[in-house]
A and B are shown apart, each in its own frame.
Chain A
Amino acid sequence: QVQLVESGGGVVQPGRSLRLSCAASGFTFSSYGMHWVRQAPGKGLEWVALISYDGNDKYYADSVKGRFTISRDNSKNTLFLQMNSLRPDDTAVFYCAKKTAMAFDYWGQGTLVTVSS
């Protein structure tokens, strides 16, 4: 069965960096695009970034463009999100999600990032 497990969240000061990981199993990771989606406390879902199956194409929400970088290591079945210049409004649960055609068909349990001094 498909399993996505995020890690790397925690408390970080404004302006600092954090790297999230998403370990994938139960499917051929190298054949699928992958998304990051976040959810601020008590708020709705916000799409963050998408990476193509081979890592060659990357897309970002305007709110994170230039600060966040999505990447993947297909040899290790792992997705990453490098987050730089973090701001308090980046505080959220970050989910990785598998891309299927035009939807997000499997989601991880999420990892909480708190940006606070």
Chain B
Amino acid sequence: QSALTQPASVSGSPGQSITISCTRTSSDVGDYNYVSWYQQHPGKAPKLMISEVSNRPSGVSYRFSGSKSVNTASLTISGLQAEDEADYYCSSYRSSGTWVFGGGTKLTVL
């Protein structure tokens, strides 16, 4: 059981917006200000999409955004495109130098 819980799957049609949640289920996941999000296409390495809750690295589409409430971080993808179909993982610094990933969410573009 991961300390970060994600829905197994989400789906949306092209042009729509979707949100993937990442809920902290363990108190040892620090102050939860260090949530990052990764996109992984089949057979490929993960790619950083959002760091520290809402920071978008250079080169990542503006359609990707991140936010957080107390115990739940969220990744929102607006203007959904076929190329967005992938697995998405959240991650957080946990404690004492250790890190944790959520279980992953499969995004299907209908």
Contact = CB atoms under 8 A, between A and B. Distances in A.
B37 to A, nearest CB: 9
A35 interface: yes
Counting chain B CB atoms within 10 Å of each CB, which of A37, A57, A102, A110 scores highest? A102
Contacts of B89: 44-45
B97 A104 contact: no
Interface residues of B, number: 25
Interface in A47-98: 47, 50, 57, 59-61, 95, 97
Nearest to A45: B101
Interface of A: 35, 37, 44-47, 50, 57, 59-61, 95, 97, 100-110
Interface of B: 2, 34, 36, 38, 40, 45-48, 51-52, 57, 87, 89, 91, 93, 96-104
22 contacts: A35-B99, A44-B2, A44-B87, A44-B101, A44-B104, A45-B46, A47-B99, A47-B100, A59-B97, A59-B98, A100-B51, A102-B34, A102-B51, A102-B93, A103-B34, A104-B36, A104-B48, A105-B57, A106-B48, A107-B45, A108-B45, A110-B45
Contacts, number: 64
8 A-B pairs with the lowest CB-CB distances in the bound complex, closest first:
A59-B97, A102-B34, A103-B51, A103-B36, A107-B45, A44-B104, A47-B99, A45-B101
